[in-house]
């Protein structure tokens, strides 16, 4: 059997390489390190470029916690590394980043089935896995853009909150001028609430950008805090304009609108609220809006150079390229978002490559698992395809009738873990 080529030894490439090597395939793992992208700083593989948190470790109450457990069941290297390098951080799985990368780096470099090549790759390979991340460098970036023509640059996104955490006593459904069935949820603010919000927004801590990220912000997705800096009333005449809305018999002073993120209406996006604030600050500042006082954030806004494929157009749910079943993409470049999600996509792409090599049919994990939901998300037609992280909104439904959120999430997790266990058995033993 030929060597499997994997380009990029970040979160996704490391997972895929180790998984394949552990299952007996020969792998050549190519990474430009020790040459660095503008965001990477270490010569070790599987580097966490920003925060040291892998988010919640709550298997039964958080979708990212559940995803991590699914990954453990599937034999994840990054989860093993995280277990060995964790630092106290309440309910979050935070790690000592140096120990985390070292663990992965050592396991890859010492593996008898893995050959490491230090080289900046310029061409797309004929087959294998491309996992070069949101900062894919040089000619390879150009080659991917030329072939798939659908890459995005410096970008900001808006937070998403869970529907059940919105205070519906303080929000109301209405489309502006009643032009529609009331698809939007509006979060009204008084003058005092609005001005307090703007003041706090302007003084809130932002994510520090590297030089390479300072240019080229699209006007169309300007961060809210940048827009607000133009004047106290700018948001009131922009994304928070209250015209055509009625609350308690009159037009509110300002109103933030929320738009459904999915068919089931379990998640809502904060319209026009692209932001570069630190995650904790987003929660603090947006929670000043009465309807969002207890909002639970399923995704925070982010801004960085975020290169990703318009995956539904070019990838299948097994992460292979449409029309080229031997070539796979994995990691953030596929439109999954976050460290854990990127690693998970590498792990699952590894499974599919193994299957292909063994001549077995390709099985996408069930939609009731987080890893299966993410796999489907990247391959499902979507006119406004945006990077997605683990959240309950993308999971297959089934427990909507259970009002107790804790109990519902526990059942969702139990189902997912059962299904992922079955999936593992089918793949490895079937």
Q: Binding to ligand FAD by residue 5, rule CB under 6 A?
A: no
Among 9, 59, 245, 295, binds ligand FAD (CB under 6 A): 9
Q: Binding to ligand FAD by residue 42, rule CB under 6 A?
A: no
Of residues 402-421, those binding ligand FAD (CB under 6 A): none
Which region, judged by CB under 6 A, interacts with ligand FAD, from 43-51, 164-172, 393-401, 417-425? 43-51
Q: Is 303 within 8 Å of 154 (Cβ atoms)? A: yes
Q: Pseudo-torsion of CA 293, 296, 299, 302, nearest 10°?
A: 30
Residue that the structure tokens 């990077």 belong to: 387
What is the distance between the alpha carbons of residues 236 and 259, in angstroms, rounded to a whole number?
A: 18
What is the distance between the alpha carbons of residues 250 and 104, in angstroms, rounded to a whole number?
A: 59
What is the distance between the alpha carbons of residues 376 and 358, in angstroms, rounded to a whole number?
A: 23
CB 114 to ligand FAD: min, Å: 15
Q: Binding to ligand FAD by residue 370, rule CB under 6 A?
A: no
Q: Binding to ligand FAD by residue 142, rule CB under 6 A?
A: no
Q: Binding to ligand FAD by residue 40, rule CB under 6 A?
A: yes
Q: Binding to ligand FAD by residue 125, rule CB under 6 A?
A: no
What is the distance between the alpha carbons of residues 218 and 214, in angstroms, rounded to a whole number?
A: 11
Helix extents (H) in 46-123: 63-73, 77-85, 97-109
Q: Binding to ligand FAD by residue 8, rule CB under 6 A?
A: yes
Of residues 274-313, those binding ligand FAD (CB under 6 A): 304
Q: Binding to ligand FAD by residue 350, rule CB under 6 A?
A: no
SS3 content of the chain, % helix, strand, coil (to 5): 40, 15, 45
Q: Is residue 201 packed enough to be buried (19+ CB in 10 Å), middle (13-18) or exposed (0-12)?
A: buried
Rounded to the nearest 5°, which phi and psi values hold at 172? -145, 150
Closer to ligand FAD by CB, 272 or 338: give it. 338
CB 26 to ligand FAD: min, Å: 19
CB 133 to ligand FAD: min, Å: 2
CB 304 to ligand FAD: min, Å: 4
Number of residues that bind ligand FAD (CB under 6 A): 35
Helix axes 11-22, 97-109, angle to 10 degrees: 40
Which region, judged by CB under 6 A, interacts with ligand FAD, from 37-45, 222-230, 233-241, 361-369? 37-45
CB 331 to ligand FAD: min, Å: 2
Q: Is the peptide bond before 34 cis (omega within 30 degrees of 0)?
A: yes
CB 178 to ligand FAD: min, Å: 40
Question: Any residues with CB less than 8 A from the CB of 248 and at least 6 apart, and which?
Answer: none
Gyration radius of the chain over CA positions: 22
Q: Binding to ligand FAD by residue 7, rule CB under 6 A?
A: yes
Among 25, 29, 31, 156, binds ligand FAD (CB under 6 A): 31
Residues of this chain that interact with ligand FAD (CB under 6 A) are 7-13, 30-33, 37, 39-40, 49-51, 120-121, 131-138, 140, 304, 331-333, 338-339, 342
């Amino acid at each position: 059997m030929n060597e499997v080529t994997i380009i990029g030894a970040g979160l996704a490439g490391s997972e895929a390489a180790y998984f394949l090597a552990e299952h007996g395939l020969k792998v050549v793992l190519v990474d430009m390190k020790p040459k660095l992208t503008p965001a990477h700083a270490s010569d070790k593989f599987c580097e966490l470029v920003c925060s040291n948190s892998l988010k919640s470790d709550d298997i039964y109450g958080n979708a990212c916690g559940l995803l991590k457990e699914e990954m453990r069941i599937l034999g994840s290297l990054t989860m093993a590394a995280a277990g060995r390098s964790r630092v106290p951080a309440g309910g979050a799985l935070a790690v000592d980043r140096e120990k985390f990368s070292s663990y992965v780096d050592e396991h890859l470099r010492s593996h008898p089935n893995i050959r490491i090549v230090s080289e900046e790759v310029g061409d797309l390979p004929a087959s294998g896995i491309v996992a070069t991340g949101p900062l894919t460098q040089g000619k390879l970036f150009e080659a991917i853009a030329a072939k798939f023509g659908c890459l995005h640059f410096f970008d900001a996104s808006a937070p998403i909150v869970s529907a059940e955490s919105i205070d519906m006593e303080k929000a109301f459904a209405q489309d502006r001028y009643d032009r529609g069935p009331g698809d939007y949820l509006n979060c009204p603010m008084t003058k005092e609430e609005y001005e307090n919000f703007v003041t706090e927004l302007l003084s809130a801590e932002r994510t520090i950008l590297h030089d390479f990220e300072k240019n080229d912000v699209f006007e169309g997705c300007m961060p809210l805090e940048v827009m607000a800096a133009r004047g106290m009333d700018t948001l009131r005449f922009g994304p928070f304009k209250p015209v055509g809305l009625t609350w308690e018999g009159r037009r509110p002073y300002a109103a933030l609108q929320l738009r459904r993120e999915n068919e089931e209406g379990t998640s809502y996006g904060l319209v026009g609220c692209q932001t570069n604030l630190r995650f904790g600050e987003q929660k603090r500042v947006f929670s000043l809006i009465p309807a969002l006082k207890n909002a639970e954030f399923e995704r925070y806004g982010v801004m960085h150079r975020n290169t990703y494929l318009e995956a539904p157009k070019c990838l299948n749910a097994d992460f292979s390229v449409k029309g080229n079943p031997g070539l796979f993409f994995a990691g953030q470049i596929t439109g999954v978002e976050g460290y854990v999600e990127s690693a998970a996509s590498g792990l699952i792409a590894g499974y599919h490559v193994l299957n292909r090599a063994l001549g077995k049919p390709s099985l996408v994990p069930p939609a009731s698992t987080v890893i299966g939901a993410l796999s489907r998300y990247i391959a499902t037609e979507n006119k406004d395809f945006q990077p997605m992280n683990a959240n309950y909104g993308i999971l297959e439904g089934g427990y909507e009738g259970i009002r107790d959120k804790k109990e519902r999430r526990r059942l969702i997790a139990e189902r997912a873990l059962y299904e992922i266990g079955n999936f593992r058995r089918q793949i490895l033993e079937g």
